[in-house]
Every structure is written in structure tokens, then in C-alpha cells.
Amino acid sequence: MDTAVKPQGCTNIKLRQLMRRVAQHYDAEVGKTGLKGTQYSLLSYVVKLGPIRPGDLAREMKIGVSTISRNLRPLIDAGWLELGPGADGRSRLVSVTDAGREKRQEAQRRWRVAQEGINQTLGPRRVVELHALIDECLSLLSPLPDGEIDE
């Protein structure tokens, strides 16, 4: 470690500030479809992986099972996702409906606008470097003991 460089300030606060700013940018675009950014992400995961058990979905998204349960409800109520029977009487599977696929396609177009806006504002090189730095930091930091991140 380079002892000549001493970080100033709180990394947690700085990352939260950046995350809030980036999330506001995406939410402003994706929100035009009636979805929050987190809902678009959840819908996209189910489109890609479903039908899937909620616990497996939580693991794939690296968030807590309680967070998944809470975030699934509005998408199920809107008719974009459905919760059906699983392999046995105790398990359930989340799957996307036709309306959910349409909503996701609509939101994906808005997400692309948001991503291009970030690329243009920050510059493509900086975005690539940011992604690489985030990936490197994630690999260096050990996961939480239960392997879940609650949001």
C-alpha cells in the first residue's frame, strides 16, 4: 500500500452519493414506463432466469430473500410477474407474464437512453474504467457472512 496517499472522507458516503446520483438518472428515464429502476432490474432477471424460485432469484441478484419478497409483490399485483407452483407443494416459482415481457421491453428502451446519457456525461473511457474499478473492488471485498446483501 502506498503510504504517501491517505484517503480523505468516508468511502461509504461517497459511494452512496454516487449511487444516488446514478440511480436518479436511471429512475428518471425508466420511471417514464411506470417502473422504478429496481423493478426493471427484477423484471429483467426473471425474464432471463425464470421460472425461478424466489430464493434462487435473491441469490442471483445478491440481495436478501425478504427484499425479493417485498419487491416482487408490486410486479405481481400489476400482472407483470406471477407466482406459481414449484416442483413440490412447498416451493413456488416466479415467472414473467406476456404483459411483463412487454413492460420490460418498454423499460429496456428507456434504460438504454439512460445508459447512453451516463456514457455521454461521464465519457465512455471513464465508464469503462469505473466498471473495471468496481469489479476489482468487489472481488477484493469479502461477501457478507450469509452471502446476501439487503437493500
Asked whether 38 and 71 are in contact (CB, 8 A), the reply is yes
Which DSSP letter does residue 92 get?
A: E
pLDDT in tens, 83-133: 998 888 788 999 999 999 999 999 999 999 999 999 999 999 999 999 999
Asked whether 72 and 81 are in contact (CB, 8 A), the reply is yes
Choice among 45-59, 71-85, 132-146 with the minimum mean pLDDT: 132-146
Compute the average pLDDT of residues 64-93: 91
Query: DSSP string covering 19-36, please?
Result: HHHHHHHHHHHHGGGT--
- CA atoms of 146 and 67, how far apart (whole Å): 14
Q: Is the pLDDT score of 78 beyond 90? A: yes
In a domain, 146, yes or no: no
In a domain, 7, yes or no: no
Q: Is the pLDDT score of 63 beyond 80? A: yes
Please give the pLDDT value at position 62.
86
Question: SS3 for 141?
Answer: coil
Please give the pLDDT value at position 33.
96
Where do we find the cell 469503462? 128
In a domain, 147, yes or no: no
Provide the grid cell at 43. 423484471
For residue 79, give the CATH number of its domain. 1.10.10.10
In a domain, 92, yes or no: yes
Q: Is the pLDDT score of 17 beyond 80? A: yes
In a domain, 145, yes or no: no
Range of the domain at 30: 14-140
Domain count for the chain: 1
Asked whether 76 and 93 are in contact (CB, 8 A), the reply is no
